[in-house]
Amino acid sequence: MKFLNKLLAATAVAAVCMAGPAQAETKRIALVVKALGIGFFEAAAEGAKEAAAELGDVEVIYTGPTDTTAEGQIEVINALIAQKVDAIAISANDTDALVPALKKAMQRGITVISWDSGVAAEGRQLHLNPSSNPLIGNMIIKLAADHLPDGGDVAVLSASATATNQNIWIEEMTKVQDNYPGINVVATVYGDDLADKSYREAQGLMQTYPDLKAIIAPTSVGIVAAAQAVSDAEKVGQVNVTGLGLPSEMAGHVHSGASKSFAIWNPIDLGYSATVLAYNLATGVAEAKAGAEIPMGRMGTLTLDDNSEGAMADPFVYDASNVDDFKDIF
């Protein structure tokens, strides 16, 4: 019994210590991720902490299941509802399966938003997309144009001809092409998101168009394969590879010069914006409705569409100056 008494005393002390901050007037915002231990989300949590420091009266609870399942996230959500947190910002493992649990959270007065990977509209107040199709379409051609002051021939290496995302981005790129005079898109080829096929397509482009100045690959598989093809053909400096890629896979090619810059969302900004948005909704500064403009600190404002979704910003540009800071993250 002596041991049990000691245990009780110890837990009582712990309880008092833990109950302390909960009683203060801080807003508790839970950043729920797909699974713990993923670099991308650890970086988002850094952004959330940055937002908390800026806002002052915020306590960020960074949590998530061990593996990327909806059931795991529901257990986490139930625990958060029980703690009566002020807001939940979630990157969902399942668009639909989380809706009942999140609805329950909203019924009990908790602000719910989704970010990165969304929840069906009835299960959240707003969804924060990292970027939007027009912004991405504009960014990929801008990246090529930035390093071609005199213009020149560029080609697109896409995923498959039926890939929805890539096709929309290329379409959006074509719409804004006139804003970049001198940039001449000579061809669009498809590497099917296979490393070897993308590599051969990139080789083919360089042979067919000897004056090719840049390859735009809006796919993380294609951009790596194209950069490798350019290196192997010893055309570094002549042909610039750009598009959408992951810092961990592209760092080497950026340093070799095969790719001067590329873009992808910045997880730190994403975690930061999600936290500020959740705070603004929870404190009543803003209301999530179609057409609303909600401030998100240093990232500007989020404009919601009819589906209560909004795009955070342009994709973030990575080059030799910052790629090393992110290559260990994702």
Partner 1 sequence: MTVTSLDPQTLGRVLPNRLKSPVRRFLTSWELLLLVVAVMVFITNSFASPYFLDPWNLSDATFNFTEKAMIAFAMGLLIISGEIDLSVASIIALASTAMGAAVQMGADTPTLVLVGLTVGLLCGAFNGFLVTGMGLPSIVVTIGTMSLFRGISYIVLGDKAYTGYPSDFAFFGQGYVGWVISFEMVLFAALAVIFAILLHATNFGRMVYAIGNNPVGSLFSGIRVPRVKFTLFLLTGLMSGVAAICLTSRLGATRPSIAFGWELEVVTMVVLGGVNILGGSGSIPGVVIAAFVMGMVTFGFGLLNVPGIVMSIFIGLLLILVIALPRLVGRYLARRKA
- Kindly state the smallest distance separating residue 69's Cβ from partner 1, in Å: 5
- Kindly state the smallest distance separating residue 120's Cβ from partner 1, in Å: 8
Task: Please report whether residue 24 would count as binding partner 1 according to CB under 8 A.
Answer: no
Kindly indicate which of the ranges 76-84, 179-187, 194-202, 272-280 contains the residues binding partner 1, using the contact rule CB under 8 A: 76-84
- Kindly state the smallest distance separating residue 196's Cβ from partner 1, in Å: 24
Structure tokens at 17: 């210590």
Nearest to 30 by CA among 63, 79, 68, 74: 63
x/- mask, partner 1, residues 28-67, rule CB under 8 A, reads --------xx-----------------------x-xxxxx
Kindly indicate which of the ranges 18-26, 38-46, 174-182, 266-274 contains the residues binding partner 1, using the contact rule CB under 8 A: 18-26
Report DSSP letters for 234-288, one per residue: T-TTTSEEEEB--HHHHHHHHHHTS-SEEEE--HHHHHHHHHHHHHHHHTTSS--
Number of chain residues interacting with partner 1 (CB under 8 A):
37
Binding residue (CB under 8 A) for partner 1 from 1, 4, 5, 306: 4
Burial class (CB in 10 A: 0-12, 13-18, 19+), 238: middle
User: Which residue has 């090529």 as its token pair?
Assistant: 144
Kindly indicate which of the ranges 82-90, 111-119, 134-142, 205-213 contains the residues binding partner 1, using the contact rule CB under 8 A: 82-90
User: Which residue has 């482009």 as its token pair?
Assistant: 205
Q: Which helix (H) or strand (E) holds 43?
A: helix 39-55
The residues with which 113 forms a beta bridge, in sequence order, are 89, 126
Structure tokens at 135: 């912004």
Residue 25 has a CB neighbour count (10 Å cut-off) of 5
- By beta-carbon proximity to partner 1, the closer residue of 114 and 138 is 114
- What CA–CA distance (Å, rounded) separates 81 from 110? 8
Task: Please report whether residue 94 would count as binding partner 1 according to CB under 8 A.
Answer: yes
- Kindly state the smallest distance separating residue 225's Cβ from partner 1, in Å: 24
Task: Please report whether residue 290 would count as binding partner 1 according to CB under 8 A.
Answer: no
Kindly indicate which of the ranges 81-89, 159-167, 234-242, 290-298 contains the residues binding partner 1, using the contact rule CB under 8 A: 81-89
- Kindly state the smallest distance separating residue 42's Cβ from partner 1, in Å: 12
Residue 318 has a CB neighbour count (10 Å cut-off) of 24
- What CA–CA distance (Å, rounded) separates 66 from 53? 27
- Kindly state the smallest distance separating residue 16's Cβ from partner 1, in Å: 9
Q: Are 205 and 155 contacting, i.e. CB atoms less than 8 angstroms apart?
A: yes
Nearest to 142 by CA among 169, 164, 116: 169
- By beta-carbon proximity to partner 1, the closer residue of 96 and 328 is 96
- By beta-carbon proximity to partner 1, the closer residue of 3 and 234 is 3
Q: Which residue ranges make up the site for partner 1 (CB under 8 A)?
A: 4, 7-8, 11-12, 14-15, 18-19, 22, 36-37, 61, 63-67, 69-72, 74-76, 78-79, 81-84, 94-97, 99-100
